[in-house]
Amino acid sequence: MAELKTNGAPRATPPASRGRLYRIAQRVRLGLDRVEVLALFPLIALTATWFGFDDLALVTAVVLSALLAIGGLGGRPVERAGGGSSPAASGRTALVAMLDRVANLAGRDTACFLIQIDDWSVVLDRWGHDASEDIARRLEERLQTALRNGDLLTRLGDSRFGVVLSPLSSARLGLRDTIATRLADAVAEPLPLRGTGLRLTASIGHSAVLKQGADPADATFKAAEAALGEAVLNGPAATRAFAPGMGRARALQTRLSEEVEAAIHDGAIQAWFQPQVHAKTSALSGMETLARWQHPKHGLLGPKEFFPAVEASGQMPLLGQRMLHEALKALRDWDKLKAHIPTISVNFSVEELRDPALAEGIASEVARYGLTPNRVVIQVSDDVATQIDDDAVVATLQTLRDAGHRLDLEGFGIGAASIPTLQRLSVTRITIDRGFVLDVDVALEKRQAVSAITALAKAMGIETLASGVETQTERDALAQLGCDFLQGFGVAHPMGLENVADWARAHEAAGKTIRLEDRRAQTAT
């Protein structure tokens, strides 16, 4: 509590006096934040000295010191790292302190932004701690260049940053979105590192200052956290503005992460399947394995809704084993039912591919179900392209290819995959990202992009699969552009195991299914 001394005895400052002192300090601080105001003091002092008014120069120096001291009274002291306080805690305290100061300024507004670098664990694994720390420092410098003088930028951990804008008249949504785009662009610009260009993305959440409630500053920071949590769920490279109810989504992920292991063991998380067809003939070429969680409270959940919880709980390898087992069993059972489904695709994460025992485990399971490796497609995300120097990942993929498995690389066209990457990983098919497929029938630039991708793939002897196909006109356009296979709601929605055989028979009855022996003949030619 601030104190005033009278006749040597301390006396508590009355509440009204403290409020007036605080407002005075805020106005002084706001003024001293302006360069043009500070520049007046040395100008006055130099002028006074030049004309011989030494007393005026002395008074100017004293007044500036007094104003700086008064300005320091505004707001709570910023907690520093050390002494039991982590850098992340110090950063949070600094952001909340600035939010608190602005929230008490009449007619002034601000906003809080939280920036999370996507897939930071991959950066750490590939480059190590020292290089990753240097990357974070350089990213911090870039983010600073995207902000104005007076905006506060602070580090909130290895891969997270926080921003509070200096006071402005209105932190409307359009302005915040523009700033978020600048911050995202600063991160996305290739970062020179050891002879290569490192490409990173960031998820961003933001909120204008919430002046209602007992603690507007803390409420605003938590709102930005909720927005960031929503962005991460929809990422990578997603941006979300705070809206009421976002905190519930974050709390849901926490609860789901506690339930994941039991859900996998109990069969609540099951394999679903989505058909893939030949672009020109519509013949069934295979099924992709997709995870679905039939939750007792929240209904049927898709991967975007619960994969963050799986990753947070460290259960991704267990989920991968479950999906492989169900996929292989399903393919064997379809053969017995004569459903004529040529292949099954199963996705594996970078974490799983780093396990040297994975290839042997897959070989054992494939043999146990009486299948051949060429019918089991190994599907990997574009993240694998960033692991081109990871010998463990490359060795696992090469062992699987040598065993006869086909290799699908997802999300081609938007990530880090290059021609050398495709060659080193021995990719047999690339999945064209949905962003290029949507409206490909009417958007010239997308037709040109798909045409370039298919031409490159054909030149390298690689097949193409377009994902996210929704309409017949998109199907027709993709076939004309040379795409080999199609997948999406325009072909068929994902379906449970019990519906696959009936769908395949109906598709075959329509004369559109290619039999396994026909596919082998096509492959041989």
Greater pLDDT, 225 or 36: 225
Per-residue pLDDT of 216-269, as tens digits, reads 999 999 999 989 988 887 778 899 999 887 766 666 777 788 888 899 998 999
Pairwise CA distance, residues 164 & 99, whole Å: 7
Cα–Cα distances (Å) from 188 to 134, 196, 205, 301, 357, in that order, read 16, 14, 16, 31, 35
pLDDT at 83: 37
308 — phi, psi (to 5°)? Answer: -60, -35
pLDDT at 359: 94
Give percent of the chain with pLDDT exceeding 70: 78
pLDDT at 55: 57
Q: Any idea where the domains of the chain sit in the sequence?
A: 10-71, 87-243, 267-524
Q: pTM for the whole thing?
A: 0.58
Helical (H) or strand (E) element with 459: helix 444-459
Domain 87-243 fold: Alpha-Beta Plaits (3.30.70)
pLDDT at 262: 92
DSSP string, 263-280: HHHHTSEEEEEEEEEETT
How would you classify the pairing of strands 376-380 and 344-348? Answer: parallel
Q: Mean pLDDT throughout 106-124? A: 91
Given a contact cutoff of 8 angstroms between Cβ atoms, the answer to whether 291 and 272 are in contact is: yes
> Per-residue b/e over 120-135, b at no fewer than 16 CB within 10 Å?
bebbbbbbeeeebeeb
pLDDT at 336: 93
Note the CATH number of domain 267-524. 3.20.20.450
- Residues counted in the chain: 525
